[in-house]
Amino acid sequence: MDTRSRTNGLSAQLTLRQLSCFVTVAEERHFRRAAIRLNMSQPPLTLRIQELERDLGVQLFARVGHQIELTEGGRLIFAEAKATLEQANQVRNMASRVRLGEAGDLRLTFAVSVSFVRAFSDAIDAFQRDHPGVTVDVTQRIHQHALEEFQQHKTDICVVRYTGPHLDGVEQMVIARDQLMLVLPANHPKALADRVALGDVASERFIQFPSEMSTVLFKKSEALWNRAGRTPCTIRKADSGLGILALVSGGFGNAILPGTLSAIQVPNVIWKPIDMDEQWTSSEMVMLYRVNARNKNAQSRFVDYVRRLCLQPE
């Protein structure tokens, strides 16, 4: 035999099947019973044990009367062989779990308003409950940062208010819809109105996102003002919905925000529908995920949970 095929006397042809044969014979202490258990005839089994002994350079069994017993070397090798087979089974099991989407991790990032979409939270909880072997790493980011991290492949799934062009190799799913609403101080003159027209408050102070921080909401609000034929008086900007709500609560101005954020209990703030056709105030939350995902099977299962529990695209 070519010496290059050996490492410390161990043949490169040593197989799991050989180890399985050895372990079975060692456990049964009988070739015929071991052959039956392995679903093979006795002569090939005997031959495999002989080949294994030759490859290892160690006698594994000794005959004692009508029985066979492990030699001292066989006893030591038996423990290692059994551990190797158990480890191989773990490898097979892990491969099966990965193939079935039951192991690995998913990196998920979303805008803050998505936190208040109950169906989406339920989808994450249900998926994690049913797939404990998959770690879902959840991070909240402002819209622009969440989208940038997704495009840089730092995350696997991104949920934002996305109205941009279709990204190559990326699927989109609408998970929820809400309405942009006026947020006013509780003592505002329009506090008792059912709906408020933008023209009625255009001369008042407004607080908004910087355009570079939340492009979608900034553009959406700008489109509403253009449709109303008015221009708001903007005096302050804040980099989060909570920051804007705090300023409205303090009486620094009004705002236009997604209705989902009304779940944040802030004192001295009221939410009013904008007196405009809902097709213009409607806002969609979109889940973005890659066709060729890093952990495609686990992602596919997660997407199925979201599809079942969240709002479907029209």
Q: What is the pLDDT of residue 103?
A: 67
pLDDT of residue 7: 41
Written as six digits, the tokens of 41 are 């005839």
Q: Based on the number of CB atoms within 10 Å of its own CB, is 34 exposed (0-12), middle (13-18) or buried (19 or more)?
A: buried
Read off the tokens for 32. 């015929």
Q: What is the pLDDT of residue 313?
A: 46
pLDDT band at 6 (very low <50, low <70, confident <90, very high): very low
CB 80 within 8 A of CB 109: no
* CA-closest candidate to residue 173, choices 55, 9, 304, 23: 304
In 3D space, the residue among 63, 83, 127, 122 whose CA is nearest the CA of residue 101 turns out to be 127
In 3D space, the residue among 34, 32, 11, 30 whose CA is nearest the CA of residue 21 turns out to be: 34
Q: For residue 131, give every residue at least 6 positions away whose Cβ sits within 8 Å of its Cβ, in sequence order, or none.
A: 101, 102, 298, 301
Give the integer Cα–Cα distance in Å for 37 and 52: 19
pLDDT, the chain, mean:
87
CA distance 149 to 83: 42
Report the pLDDT averaged over residues 95-117.
82
Q: Which tens digits make up the pLDDT trace of 15-39? A: 889 899 999 999 989 899 999 999 9
Given a cut of 70, is residue 101 above it in pLDDT? no
- What is d(CA 251, CA 303) in angstroms, rounded to the nearest whole number? 42
Q: Which phi and psi angles does 20 have, rounded to 5°?
A: -65, -40
Selection from 138-147, 188-197, 232-241 with the highest mean pLDDT: 188-197
* pLDDT tens figures, 45-67: 999 999 998 989 899 999 887 78
pLDDT of residue 247: 94
For residues 310-314, average pLDDT: 59
Q: Are 307 and 299 in contact (CB under 8 A)?
A: no
Question: What pLDDT is stored for residue 95 in this prediction?
Answer: 76
Please count the other Cβ atoms lying within 10 Å of the Cβ belonging to residue 118.
12
What share of the chain in percent tops pLDDT 70? 91
- 181-231 pLDDT, tens digit each: 999 999 999 999 999 999 999 999 999 887 665 568 888 889 999 999 998
pLDDT band for position 5 (cuts 50, 70, 90): very low
Question: Residue 310 — left, alpha, or beta (φ > 0 → left; ψ -120 to 50 → alpha)?
Answer: beta
Strand partners, 185: 269
What integer pLDDT is reported at residue 293 of this predicted model?
Answer: 86
Lowest mean pLDDT among 22-31, 97-106, 271-280, 284-293: 97-106
- Residue closest to 196 by CA, chosen among 269, 273, 278: 273
Residues 240 and 142: beta-carbon distance below 8 Å: yes
- Which one, of 52, 8, 7, lies nearest residue 26 by Cα? 52
* Domains by residue range for the chain, with CATH: 3-99 (1.10.10.10), 105-314 (3.40.190.290)
d(CA 16, CA 84): 8
pLDDT(100) > 70: no
Q: What is the pLDDT of residue 144?
A: 82
- For residue 6, the SS3 value is strand
